[in-house]
Amino acid sequence: MVLSLQSNRSLSEFSTFGIGGPIRYLAEVTSFEEMEEAFALKLPFFILGKGSNCLFDDRGFDGLVILNKIDFCSFTDTEVSVGAGYSFSLLGVQSARKGLSGLEFACGIPATVGGAVFMNAGANGCETCNSLASVLYLHADGSRREYQREELTFGYRKSSFQSMFGAILSAHFSLTPREEARKAQLQIIETRMKTQPLKEKSAGCVFRNPAPTLSAGALIDRCGLKGAAMGGAKVSEIHANFLINTGSASSQDMLSLIRLVQEKVFEQTGVYLEPEIRLVDATN
């Protein structure tokens, strides 16, 4: 098996923000073995899923961007094993249709399963780690290991994997039978469609909620920042914790707007908002 490398591609093609510069090399990986091949090249690398929850540098990435497309999905009773490149939103819909509860919140989240595990994605009071049973991981040295849930540490948009060097290959979830799972999932997506700028170029919520009962979006709104703009970057008028690319935003525009929001909110409330999105520079 010989891994195919592409050049002359841009991170903006793979970013939900629509922002990012040239990629030195791009590899689309569809199997565990291809991921091993990619690591064997010994190049600086970045693992890419749906390109959400990230702000890429206009200078691009001077290394290997690995697009994780390991996308198998297998249900057995209340268990599901799924590749890291599988759509997390689709997994939420499919599990709910089977009357299984635990991932209803995933519908509408523009992430792969690997990205959701890596960031411990969450919404509606639920988090990815709640139904996670195990994760198969490939370390950069080529060694594979299956981690059980109890071996891993998760927090608000945090996981053990953020301090590791390698790639999530697959995940196993343990779900619970629930007759109303599909109804709950449909209600979640209906609410999202009404309250989030889903048709705009964004990376989802930009800032972490400073406390369980304190919403970053509500703080930004309270400070009168809806509609505030820097270049082509703008605070959404639908949901203040969504910063959007109006069509021509650069990474510097978005960074400037992030800093502006942080400064204004801190000045008016004393609360410092921490970014939830990952800032990926030219060398990561």
At 252-263, the pLDDT tens digits run 999 999 999 999
Range 135-155 average pLDDT: 97
**Matching CATH number, 9-68, of 3.30.43.10, 3.40.50.10190, 3.50.50.60, 3.30.1330.10:** 3.30.43.10
Interval 17-56: pLDDT, tens = 999 999 999 999 999 999 999 999 999 999 999 999 999 9
Mean pLDDT of the chain: 95
- CA angle centred on 51, ends 46 and 57, rounded to 5°: 65
Residue with structure tokens 């569809």? Answer: 30
The pLDDT value given to residue 282: 60
Range 203-219 average pLDDT: 93
Catalytic residue among 157, 182, 200, 223, which? 157
Closest CA to 93 of 83, 103, 82: 103
Q: Would residue 157 show up in a list of annotated catalytic residues for this protein?
A: yes
Interval 162-200: pLDDT, tens = 999 999 999 999 999 999 999 999 999 999 999 999 899
Catalytic residue among 54, 107, 205, 223, which? 205
Closest CA to 206 of 273, 113, 283: 273
| Fold that domain 197-272 belongs to in CATH | 3.90.78
**How many whole angstroms separate alpha carbon 16 and alpha carbon 200?**
9
Beta strand 79-83 with 73-76 is antiparallel
In which element (H, E) is residue 234 found? strand 233-235
**How many whole angstroms separate alpha carbon 4 and alpha carbon 278?**
27
Q: What percent of the chain has pLDDT above 70?
A: 99
Interval 236-283: pLDDT, tens = 999 999 999 999 999 999 999 999 999 999 999 999 999 999 988 766
Range 62-78 average pLDDT: 96
Which tokens belong to 151?
């071996």
Within the chain, residue ranges assigned H as helices are 32-40, 88-97, 113-119, 181-195, 216-222, 251-269
The pLDDT value given to residue 103: 97
pTM over 0.85: yes
The residue extents of the domains of the chain are: 9-68, 73-181, 197-272
Q: Would residue 145 show up in a list of annotated catalytic residues for this protein?
A: no
Q: Helices (H), strands (E): how many in the chain?
A: 6, 21
The pLDDT value given to residue 1: 59
pLDDT at 123 over 90: no
Q: What percent of the chain has pLDDT above 90?
A: 92
CB neighbours of 180 closer than 8 A, spacing ≥ 6?
Answer: none
Per CATH, is 73-181 categorized as 1.10.940.10? no
Q: Would residue 205 show up in a list of annotated catalytic residues for this protein?
A: yes
